[in-house]
Amino acid sequence: MTTPTPVAPTEGHPGAGHHVLRGVGVGRRAVVGPVAQVRAAPAVPADAAVLVDGVPADAAATRAALEAAFASVAAGLREQASRATGTVQEVLAATAQMAADNALRSQVLAKVDAGQPPVAAVDAVVAQFAAMFEAAGGYLAERVTDLRSVRDRVVAAALGLPAPGVPELHEPSVVVAEDLAPADTAALDLAKVLAIVTELGGPTGHTAIIAGQLGLPCLVRVTGATDVPEGALAAVDAAAGTLTVEPDDALRADVERRAARDAALAEDTAPGATADGHAVALLANIGTAEDAERVAGPGVEGVGLFRTEVLFLERTAAPTQADQAAAYGRVLRAMAGHKVVVRTLDAGADKPLAFATQPDEENPALGVRGYRLVRTHPELLDTQLAALGQARAETGAEPWVMAPMIATAAEARDFAARARAAGVRTVGVMVEVPAAALRAREVLAEVDFVSLGTNDLAQYAMATDRLRGELADLLDVWQPAVLDLVAATARAGAEVGKPVGVCGESAGDPLMALVLVGLGVTSLSMSAGAIGAVRYAVRHHTLERCRELAAAALAAGSAPDARAAVLALVADEVRGTLGL
Tell me which residues are annotated as active site: 206, 503
377 touches 354 (CB < 8 A): no
- End-to-end CA, the chain: 34
Closest CA to 549 of 525, 574, 527: 574
The CA radius of gyration of the chain, in Å to the nearest whole number, is: 25
Closest CA to 278 of 516, 484, 508, 119: 516
Cβ neighbours for 247, distance < 8 A, ≥ 6 positions apart: 14, 15, 18, 32, 233, 234, 235, 255
Calculate the alpha carbon distances from 430 to 197, 448, 467, 476 in Å: 29, 12, 20, 19
Cα–Cα–Cα angle for 113, 119, 121, rounded to 5 degrees: 45
DSSP one-letter code for 20: E
Q: How many helices and strands, by DSSP H and E, does the chain display?
A: 22, 18
Cβ neighbours for 70, distance < 8 A, ≥ 6 positions apart: 99, 100, 104, 105, 108, 154
Burial class of residue 52, CB neighbours in 10 A (0-12, 13-18, 19+) = middle
* Helix (H) or strand (E) segment spanning residue 236: strand 233-237
- For 171, list phi and psi in degrees, rounded to 5: -155, 160
DSSP 36-75: EEPBPPP---TTPPPEETTEE--HHHHHHHHHHHHHHHHH
Residue 364 CB: number of other CB atoms within 10 A? 17
Rounded CA separation 405/427 (Å): 15
